[in-house]
Structures are given as structure tokens and as C-alpha cells.
A = this chain, B = another copy of it.
Amino acid sequence: MNQKKKLVVVGSVAIDWVITPHAEREESVGGAATYFSMAASHHTPVHLVGVVGKDFPKQALAEMKQAGVDLEGLEVEENALTFRWKGRYHENMNQRDTLETHLNCFESFSPKLPESYKNADMLFLANIQPNLQLQVLEQMNTRPGLVGLDTMNLWIDIASDDLRAVVSKVDVLTINEEEALQMTGSMSLLDAAKEIRKIGPKILVIKRGEYGALLFGPEENDLFAAPAMPLADVHDPTGAGDCFAGGFMGYLCGAQDQNSETLRKAVIWGSVMASFCVQGFSYDTILELNAEKIEARYKEFVALTQF
């Protein structure tokens, strides 16, 4: 039977202030673990580890629960504010400037996994301080069958050793192309992939924003290129990479294996969720999805790529 596996994610849960060339949302529920969970929940139940402050909207908690996200692992810190990020996207939506970052409740966060999380089949260490990612991995009773990790340029800059330590322990790394080059000091993505494999992960997904993603599979020379869906209505790119990871890991939770064919399909399911994500602020578009809409977008990817 197609028994779905237990998926745990740790990462930021945030309130963003997002400014795009066309619109702005001041209290936009965000965070890597939030986006990841909401996307993955369309494939499998998700168990979230994170922290929010007293200002985190109750409605968002209700929506996440309703979507199938288990929040037993989400601490609510009554004496602190939620992690906040403020950023502005450039005209072409490909680049953004961070205007403000307030760690708030994440400054003193020490994740404590609920007992029921410690036997997860799969674990995703979404973007957050590398030492927190490592703490979560180390609290597992048994090493999950598949561990993925996402990160960002900030940690490559200021916590490079911690990052390498945790990356060396995971199976899948998802990372932006500039970050892959930065992290490895490489001039080409093929060279970066070689260096990252040496650190540890046997599966690598390089995210290229509106240009899609490259999958370096577990076998030598297994390379897959997926496009992003061309869209006329990109409202807010925030969280696209996290939704990608959610679709990717969520699909793998329901799959029988992790061979090249399955991983390639997982990349497309990730791309499907990312394509929906950017069409609205926060997780607005992800929230209103159903199986029919998701399946239709998957078929659009098939039509977009077959020759």
C-alpha cells in the first residue's frame, strides 16, 4: 500500500513585510517552515518545529492546522515577537533587497522535539541558523530515511563552519544557484555540484528562480533540468523556494522509492507548488489549492517540456 511517511520540518516562521513594484503587504505570514508545510501538506501530513511570538496571527495558526500541519512542535513565546523580515523586490522580481531583519523569538530559540516527532521517516531542515538545524537532527531517535536541507547566503557568510557540519549529515541539499557557487567558490554549477557532493549530500537541487531547477541525482552524471512555469502574474516571489522544497519532499513521502525517475517527478511537483506560490502574497494561493488544480498544473509542466 502507498503508506505515507511522517514528515517533520524545522525552520523559520515569520511575519514579513513584502514590497513589490506593484503592491505591498505589511503583515504577510511567511517563514521557510510555514511555506514548506503549507506546500507539503497537499501531499502528506507535516509536523512543524519552530517558534513564534505573541504577535503571530491566530488565524494563520488555524489555517495551518486546517491544512494538515501538526503544530505540536511550534512554540508560542508569549514574551517575544515573531521573527520579522522586510524586503523589497526589484522591477524584474528576480532580485530583492532585505530592508530589515529582526530575529526576535529566534534569538533564544532552542528547539525541543515532541516525542511523536522523533521517529519521523523524513526530515526537512528548512532555512534557519545551521546550529538549530543540527540540534533538530540530533534529537531524532533514529536517523530519518531522508533528510533534506535548505539554507541561504547569510549562513554561508556568517556561519560557514556550522553550515558545513550540518550539510555533511544530510541526503538532499536545496540551494539557490548563486549560493551554490558562493558556498563552493566554483565558477560553474557542475563544479559546485561536485564540491557539494564531497561535503555529503548525494542529491542536490539547484534552484534558479524563474529559470527552474537543476537536479543532480544520486548517481554520477544523473542531471535533470526542470523549467519554471512562465507566468504573467508574479505577485510575490517570497517563499517560492520553500514551497518548492515542500512539494519535492511531500511527493517523496508518498513515493515508493527515491530513484532518478521519482526524484525528477518530485522536482516537477516542487516546481508546481513554487509556481502557485508566486501568484499571490504569503501562502494565499497555496491555501486555496485542491487536488484538481495541482494536477492540472502538473500537466501544464508536461506540456511545457515534452518534445
Chain A interface (Cβ < 8 Å from any Cβ of B): 91-92, 187-191, 208, 211-212, 214, 223-227, 230-232, 234, 261, 264-265, 267-268, 303-307
Contact between chains at B227 and A225 (CB < 8 Å): yes
Q: Kindly state the separation between the CA atoms of A232 and B184 in the bound complex, as whole angstroms.
A: 14
Interchain Cβ contacts under 8 Å between A and B, 30 examples: A91-B187, A92-B187, A188-B230, A188-B232, A188-B234, A189-B230, A190-B230, A190-B231, A190-B232, A191-B232, A211-B211, A211-B212, A212-B225, A212-B227, A223-B303, A224-B304, A224-B305, A224-B307, A225-B230, A225-B304, A225-B305, A226-B307, A227-B227, A261-B307, A264-B306, A264-B307, A265-B307, A267-B307, A268-B307, A305-B305
Interface SS, A side: mixed
Please judge, given known A-B contacts A305-B224, A305-B305, A307-B267, whether A214 and B190 are in contact too, CB under 8 Å. Answer: no
Q: Give the Cβ gap from A228 to chain B, nearest Cβ, in Å.
A: 8
Q: Give the Cβ gap from A178 to chain B, nearest Cβ, in Å.
A: 9
Residues of B within 8 A of A307 (CB): 224, 226, 261, 264-265, 267-268, 305
Residues of B within 8 A of A214 (CB): 230
Residues of B within 8 A of A306 (CB): 264
By CB atoms of chain B within 10 A, which of A225, A231, A232, A268 has the most? A225
A216 (CB) vs chain B CBs: closest residue: B230
Q: Kindly state the separation between the CA atoms of A189 and B226 in the bound complex, as whole angstroms.
A: 18
From B92, B188, B190, B304, A223 is in contact (CB under 8 Å) with B304
Q: Kindly list 12 other residue pairs between chains A and B, CB separation below 8 angstroms, not including A188-B234, A267-B307, A268-B307.
A: A91-B187, A92-B187, A188-B230, A189-B230, A191-B232, A212-B225, A223-B304, A224-B304, A225-B227, A225-B230, A225-B305, A261-B307
